Amino acid sequence: MQMTKSLLALAALATSAFAQSIAITGPPAGTTVTAGQGFVVDIARPNTLSPSQEVAVVVALSSCGSFGGGTCDFVTPDQVLGRILYSGPYTPTHHTDSAPGSIEFYQNFTVTVPDNFAKGPASLNVAHFNLIGAGPFPSMEVKNITVIVA
């Protein structure tokens, strides 16, 4: 019986953590960004029923070099984030002008690609840290998309 309760509690925590997950909603994967210029990274999260407290995000860019055949599939952002473009608070706000069914909580960050950043495919990595539940318990995740640096 105790084992069943533990498994149910673990499943509830996993479901709660999944519901707190972020998404990189901009720029779209495959977008070309220019070294020395800024671009907007839109980080969104769904509305949730369980309590959570957003803490921070880190936005970073990691060159894929000559590997990966034009993609960054080999990049493991949980091991290497790359050049930090933003590190600080994440305070998504509710946007009532969102299309029905879209994510209504998001925050935009304007970041700049370093002038000397390698041209070609790069992994845009976002590390997200928040506190979930009444406890609360810490949660950290990393999301990434591939962009092209020109």
Q: What is the structure's pLDDT at 9?
A: 43
For residue 72, give Cα distances in angstroms to 2, 20, 123.
44, 25, 6
Q: What is the structure's pLDDT at 135?
A: 86
Interval 23-61: pLDDT, tens: 999 999 999 999 999 999 999 998 777 788 999 999 999
d(C-alpha 48, C-alpha 38), whole Å = 31
Indicate the SS3 state at residue 15. Answer: helix
d(C-alpha 135, C-alpha 51), whole Å = 10
Indicate the SS3 state at residue 10. Answer: helix
Q: What is the structure's pLDDT at 55?
A: 96
Topology of domain 2-149 in CATH is Immunoglobulin-like (2.60.40)
Indicate the SS3 state at residue 69. Answer: helix
Q: What is the structure's pLDDT at 15?
A: 41
Which of 56, 46, 52, 54 shows the shortest CA–CA distance to 25? 46
